[in-house]
Amino acid sequence: MNSPQVIDDRYRLVRPVGAGGMGRVWQGLDLHLEREVAVKVVRPDLLDGPGRHEAAARFRREARVTAQIQHPGVPAIFDAGLDAASGELFLVMAYLPGLNLRDLLDETGPLPVDWTLAIGAQLASVLTAAHERHVIHRDLKPANIIVGPTGLVHVVDFGIAAVLEPDVSRLTATGDKPGTLNYMAPEQIRAQPAGPAADLYALGALLFEMATGERLFADRGSAYEVQTAHLKELPEPVRRARPDFPSELDGLVSRLLSKEPAERGSDAAAVHLQLAAMLAGSPASGTPVRDCGDPTWPFRAPLAPARVAREAAAKAAAPQPDRSARRLAEADRAYAAGDFNGALSAFRALAKDLETPDPALALRCQAKAAQCLAALGNAASALTGLSSVVERQRRLEGERARSTLYSRRIAVDMLAALGRMPEAHRELATVVGEMAAAFGPADADTIEAERLLRAWSAPPQAGPGWPMPTASSPGSPPR
């Protein structure tokens, strides 16, 4: 599939953001309502051959199952159907910015006490809503968990969920073991029916990993040994590695990881209450927030705007008087005066110092540092760095945030400076459309980008150079 593509004459696919067993997930744009969405498109090979009807039935069922779960931590389902032009099944959901738990754990290692308890409590709340609708997830793992900008935890991909109604047939093949091995309950390994207790086992494995930084039984040498450990062994108590955790957590994790489903219980609501009570008695860690929000914030300030949460985190992380505004002004003046080396050093230092208290501003400083690098004649390195900045801005602030779109606009100039004119022209056309939709045609950034696009009515063939003559001049401070 080549992007951009429009599904069902309505949903434009912007960029791929993930892939799973059933297909690929794209960040998209609803052209009718002008809102960001996530679009899952089923793998074409699953619709070929004798399994076509089973795959189609499973995909449609995913939409129905997920749509039945009413909870802020489950993405809303907007649409599902078959694209007449391509013959591909699609599912349209709310787009969820933030950081998935897998990336968060890989980046930070063990989480602080309050974050572990808060994420666990939110997961238990989502499972409660699902189990009340007779739905189990059966594949709860870090990659399927997203911590959003406000700290709200979302669970995605109920695509292999089993409906608990006794008259509903299983759609997975006989002997298939859905789920990821490190989080798989013993009954799933035995290919036995999996109920709510299987999700609670996965929750216990997640609590263990968030607290210790190690996947459950990850030290085993083979998949067979991991399966055997799930069937026969208990892990070390959490507090042996993390004595700062409340003693009640060891008992809870031990119960959730019981080999027999009946010993775990099936009441996710009770687990939520236990974790929330532990969280209430735990001090706030003030952990730096990067591409996601503080997951304790929904408990401390329910429904607070994302900006308020970020400001509170910044205040907690930087109690000393802030000198960043003065330093930023000095860096801007250096750039405007043509002192690109001095500005580069200043923006890089600012980005490092602001990473904890204000990650969004730190990213903008990194983008400005990339502009300095390009002005010094190293557009290739500048573009590589700016591409990384854009990806983090997408996760932290959203695809249509001004900072994200402006960084993409600057990347157009770098592409042009490298002589990649057709690519620059295509990206500029996309950015102009998205700026107009997000800010309006009268916005200054939209007007500037549209003016350059008109000058590029056909992809130009100019040679490398920075800055481009039609773009901001080196004397204009970067934003």
Confidence of residue 78 (pLDDT cuts 50, 70, 90): very high
Please state, rounded to an integer, the average pLDDT across all residues of the chain: 83
pLDDT of residue 359: 82
Q: Give 395-431 pLDDT, tens digit per residue.
A: 878 888 899 999 999 999 999 999 898 899 999 999 9
pLDDT of residue 360: 84
Closest CA to 235 of 265, 249, 215, 221: 215
Is 0.85 topped by the overall pTM? no
pLDDT of residue 321: 44
Over residues 211-240, the mean pLDDT reads 90
Closest CA to 103 of 54, 50, 56, 143: 143
Domains for the chain: give ranges and CATH numbers. Answer: 5-94 (3.30.200.20), 99-305 (1.10.510.10), 324-455 (1.25.40.10)
Sign for the CA dihedral angle at 66, 69, 73, 78 comes to positive
pLDDT of residue 431: 92
Place of tokens 């022209």: 425
Among the ranges given (4-18, 103-117, 167-181, 328-342), the one the predictor scored with the smallest mean pLDDT: 167-181
Q: Give 133-151 pLDDT, tens digit per residue.
A: 888 898 899 999 999 988 9
Task: State the Cα–Cα distance between residues 356 and 353, nearest whole angstrom.
Answer: 7
pLDDT of residue 64: 82
Over residues 237-247, the mean pLDDT reads 92
Among the ranges given (90-94, 163-167, 304-308, 361-365), the one the predictor scored with the smallest mean pLDDT: 163-167
Which residues are tagged catalytic?
139
Q: Which of 196-210, 320-334, 335-349 has the highest mean pLDDT?
A: 196-210
Is 352 marked within a binding site? no
More confident call, 57 vs 455: 455
Quick one: tokens of 297?
Answer: 């914030």
Q: Give 31-56 pLDDT, tens digit per residue.
A: 999 899 999 888 776 666 666 677 67
Task: State the Cα–Cα distance between residues 222 and 230, nearest whole angstrom.
Answer: 13
pLDDT of residue 160: 52
**pLDDT above 50: residue 319:** no
pLDDT of residue 347: 93
Q: Give 87-116 pLDDT, tens digit per residue.
A: 788 989 999 888 999 989 988 889 999 999
